Copies of this chain bind each other. A is one copy, B any other.
Amino acid sequence: MEEAGLDAYIISKSPNVYYFTGTISGGKLILTRDDPPVLLTSRLNMVASLQASDPRKIGFDDISLSLYNDLKEKIPNATLMEAPEIVREMRMIKDSEEIELMRRAGALADSGMEAIRDCIGEGVRENEVAAEAAYAMRKQGADALAFPFIVVSGPRSAYPHGGVTERKIRKGEFVTIDMGASFREYKSDITRTFIVGTPIERQRDIYETVLQTNMVALDLIRKGETGFDVHMVAAKLIEDAGYGEHFIHDLGHGVGLEVHEGPNLGKTSKDTLRKGMVVTDEPGIYIHGFGGVRIEDTVLVTDSAPERLTRYAKDLDAMRV
Contact = CB atoms under 8 A, between A and B. Distances in A.
A298 to B, nearest CB: 21
A211 to B, nearest CB: 27
A54 interface: no
Interface in A121-162: 127-128, 130-132, 134-135, 138-139, 141-145, 148-149, 161
A194 to B, nearest CB: 18
Nearest to A137: B131
Nearest to A82: B65
Nearest to A164: B143
Contact of A82 (B66, B127, B130): B66
Nearest to A161: B25
Which A-B residue pairs are the 10 nearest by beta carbons?
Answer: A131-B138, A135-B135, A131-B139, A144-B148, A131-B135, A143-B164, A63-B65, A134-B134, A127-B138, A130-B138
Nearest to A68: B65
Question: How many copies of this chain does the complex contain?
Answer: 2
A39 to B, nearest CB: 16
Q: Which of A24, A134, A135, A138 has the most B CB atoms < 10 Å from its CB?
A: A138
Nearest to A182: B148
A66 B60 CA distance: 12
Contacts of A131: 134-135, 138-139
A134 B127 contact: no
A164 B144 contact: yes
Contacts of A141: 127, 166
Interface string A55-75: 000000001111010000000
A62 B92 CA distance: 28
Contacts of A66: 82
A163 interface: yes
Contacts of A128: 138-139
A63 B68 CA distance: 11
A22 to B, nearest CB: 13
A149 B132 CA distance: 17
Contacts of A82: 65-66
Interface in A27-70: 63-66, 68
